[in-house]
Structures are given as structure tokens and as C-alpha cells.
Amino acid sequence: MTDHTPSPTPDSNQPAKAWSGRFSEPVSDLVKRYTASVFFDQRMATQDIRGSLAHAKMLARQGIIGANDLADIERGMHQIAGEIESGEFAWNLDDEDVHLNIEKRLTALVGDAGKRLHTGRSRNDQVATDIRLWLRDAIDQTLHLIATFQRNLLDIAEQHAATPMPGFTHLQVAQPVTFGHHLMAYYEMSRRDAERFADCRKRVNRLPLGSAALAGTSYPIDREFVAAELGFDEVCYNSLDAVSDRDFAIEFCAAAALLMTHLSRLSEELILWMSPRVGFIDLADRFCTGSSIMPQKKNPDVPELVRGKTGRTNGNLIALLTLMKGQPLAYNKDNQEDKEPLFDTADTVIDTLRIYADMITGIKVKADNMRGALSQGYATATDLADYLVKQGLPFRDAHEAVALAVRAAEVRGCDLPQFTLDELRAAMADVPGAAERVEAGISAVLTVEGSLASRNHVGGTAPDQVRAAIARAREALG
């Protein structure tokens, strides 16, 4: 995904455009710049060459061009690929886009065979094919990086399968959970993200080529052959649809926006946890920056930027949806605008996953602070209510009795486990039937460990369940 190229410049000594025969005056430099896409679509050069080679091979097999033409095209394309790779290739704005730039160079290198390449093809099916090939690679890279992120996440989750921290709702201390359980929530999100990308890939991996401009072509082409050459699972079955719809790119951007949204939530937590006010974690220095004025600062820039860049991926999704919604069938030049948002989203997701996979390995957990925070929010109040219910008190009465106990603890400035049995009973005295149901074993119920261990079912936070979830995840990852 590297751009090898300096910005293309208009060249007035260039020969006429590929389609200029019909026109009586040249376009202005401004129009040329406005309509050209070579600035950005040159990123698909490799895919364009691959697609052209498969097309040429098919044309030769079908007797539409000669074997010597194919040999010339292959030789020329080989040279062009080398020129692009080394940065020597002279991209030219006058040739509009990646397709015409390469075709023009091919013709300069091999003559008539270069002019025969476009037989039975249009840039409309060519560009749709190139984007799909490009996006397929981007999806494969994304899936690979998600798996790396997941493996690293599982490693810290495993280390902290039994490390207690407060679980929050409304950002208020709610109930104890383990840090491993909390991280596994993000594993589940990333698992669904991976499923979405893998599913999107199925619809990306269909071949538009052969649709030509919009109606198909009168040459005896073999689309299945081209599909197999390029690794597509099947061909697109309607030529008008194949050249015009970009729903597959929209799907990718939707899956990417969701993935970024998940990572943005995790980022928000890392930022919060790293604040000295919370102090649950520290991030490795290489992901933070200092302040030019405040010497004490260590800022979590990377998670902040991930949160910020989510705005960009969400915007790209809306851009593509809006691009599509007013277009009549079939191809319209509007579609040239699909590339920059798509490339930008793929770049953002790939860079973000790469950096995140590394960043989470550098999380330093401050387990004492997590535990300290747990003693401040009556985190085991629900456990006390559940205890009373199990002793036969109706849940609503139990809820009321525990609320009274929390109020008494607040007045005393202590936490629930610090009450003696008699103090606890006294605190609940106003709810009939509550006090006498509290027995000596209650203190075990009110401990953090007791609370965690009791949530012992699939999906619960008991350390054994967290370890089982991690084992399941490792097996799924292979």
C-alpha cells in the first residue's frame, strides 16, 4: 500500500487522450485535474496489472487476440510492474487514471498488442475489478491483524483472570468483575468484527470483468476462466449491477466503522484508567507523549487518536452511502469518489490494529488501585441482597434492607464487610424478616472474592469462567 509516485503533472506535449477523437477542443487544465483520479487510484496499479493479465490470457485462449499479442502484453506488463515498483514509472495527469496510464505505457512498450488489450472490456468493469482485488487484500490483512490483537488481548486477560476491579454502570461502581473478564468483553466485540469482515469478503470476491461498459460484450469471452485466474469465487451475474454498485465497499466501511467504534470505547477506558484520578493502569511510554509546558504530563495520545480517528471512519461510511444513493444505473463518474474514503478507512483500520496489538502488550495493571476502588462503592451490595433472597426474603424487601445497610455504612464511613453481624442486623431492622435471616456466614458473601466466585456460569465473571472463555477463544483462533 505504498505510493511510489510524485504528483502527476499536466503535460501539454502529450498525445491526445484515449477518448479524444469525438471532441473538438481539449479540456482545460482545471477540468483535467478535477476529473483525474491518477493521484489516488495509482494505489491499485498491482491489481490493475493482474486484472489485465488475466483478461489478456482469456482473450488469447478464446482466439480473440493472438498468442504473440499475449506474449507482448505479458512482457510489457512485467516491465511496467518493475517501473512502478522502483518508482521510475512516469504517472501522467493527462492519462486520467491508473488504467489509462498503464495502457498507454504498455502501448509505448509493445505497440499494437497494447492497443488490443482493451478488447471486450471497459474501464467500468476494469475499475470495479481492481477495487475488489484491492479490497480483498485489505480485508485479509485486517483479519490477520485482528487475530494478532486478539491473541495479545487473551494473554493479558489470562494474567488477570482473577484480578478484581470494579465493574461500572453509569460510571458508578456496580459489582466486582475481574480485569480479565472486562478485557474479554472486547475480545467478543472483536470476534464479531472479524465475522463481519469475513462475511463482507464473500461479496467482495465476485468478478465484474466481462460486464464491459454496462451491457456485456459481443466477443466470445470466458468469464469463469478470468474469475479462476484472479481467485474470485464467482462472477457477478448482472452486468449493469456489476459496473455500478459499490455496496461491497460500503459494507467494508460499515464493518470498519464498527471495529473502530469498539476500539474507541476501549481507548476511552484506557484514557480514563490511566488518569491519576483513577490509576488502574499505566501505558508504556512509547504510546504516550509529554507536554511542552507541563513537565509532569504523560498523555495517552495513541488511544486519544484512535478515538479521534473513529470520526473519520464513520464519516467515510456516510460519504459512500451518500455517493451511492442518487445514482441511476449503471456506471456514473460519481463512483470515482469511492476510492479515497475506502482507502482512508482501510489505512486507518490497519494502522490502528497494528498499533493497538502492540499497545495492549504494554499495559501495566495497578491491581492494588483496582481493589482499593472496589472498597469504595458498596460493590457487594447486590450479593447481600441475593443472600437474603436465598434465605427466603422476597427480592424487593431484600433490596430495601440492603439499601438501609448501605445508608448506615455511609453514615459510618465504612464498607459493608466492615460491619459486625449485629451492626448489620441493626441496620436492616426496619424491614421485617431481614435481620433474622442474616447468619454468621455472611462475611464470606460480602468479600470481593466471594462475589466473583459466585457468578459461576457461562458468561459470568467468576475467574474459572473467565479462564474457560479464554480457552474457548484460543481454540477458535487456532
Active site members: 170, 291
Q: HSE of 336 in the Cβ direction (CA atoms, 13 Å)? A: 16
Q: C-alpha cell of 67?
A: 498468442
**Pairing, β 234-235 against β 206-207:** parallel
**Pairing, β 281-283 against β 172-178:** unpaired
| CA dihedral angle for residue 309, residue 310, residue 314, residue 315, rounded to 10 degrees | -20
Residues in the chain, overall count: 478
**Cβ 366 vs Cβ 281: under 8 Å:** yes
Q: C-alpha cell of 93?
A: 495527469
**Pairing, β 281-283 against β 363-365:** antiparallel
Give the DSSP H or E segment for 74: helix 67-86
Write down the least CB distance from residue 43 to ligand ARG, Å. 12
Residue 405: asked if its preceding bond is cis (omega within 30°), the reply is no
Write down the least CB distance from residue 160 to ligand ARG, Å. 48
**Pairing, β 164-169 against β 172-178:** antiparallel
Q: What counts of helices (H) and strands (E) characterise the chain?
A: 20, 6
Q: Which is nearer to ligand ARG, 247 or 282 (CB)?
A: 247
Write down the least CB distance from residue 14 to ligand ARG, Å. 18
Report how far apart, in Å, the C-alpha atoms of 188 and of each of 150, 181, 183, 269, 471 are. 9, 11, 9, 16, 13
Q: C-alpha cell of 410?
A: 455511609
Say whether 215 sits in a helix, a strand or coil.
Answer: coil
Write down the least CB distance from residue 337 to ligand ARG, Å. 8
Distance from the Cα of residue 361 to its chain's centroid: 19
Q: Which is nearer to ligand ARG, 45 or 359 (CB)?
A: 45
Q: Which is nearer to ligand ARG, 37 or 314 (CB)?
A: 37
Q: Residue holding cell 504517472?
A: 91
Write down the least CB distance from residue 124 to ligand ARG, Å. 5
Say whether 51 sits in a helix, a strand or coil.
Answer: helix
DSSP classification of residue 118: T
Q: C-alpha cell of 356?
A: 493497538
Write down the least CB distance from residue 127 to ligand ARG, Å. 4
Write down the least CB distance from residue 343 to ligand ARG, Å. 12
**Cβ 401 vs Cβ 428: under 8 Å:** yes
Given the rule CB under 6 A, which residues bind ligand ARG? 37, 41, 97, 123-124, 127, 331, 333, 335-336
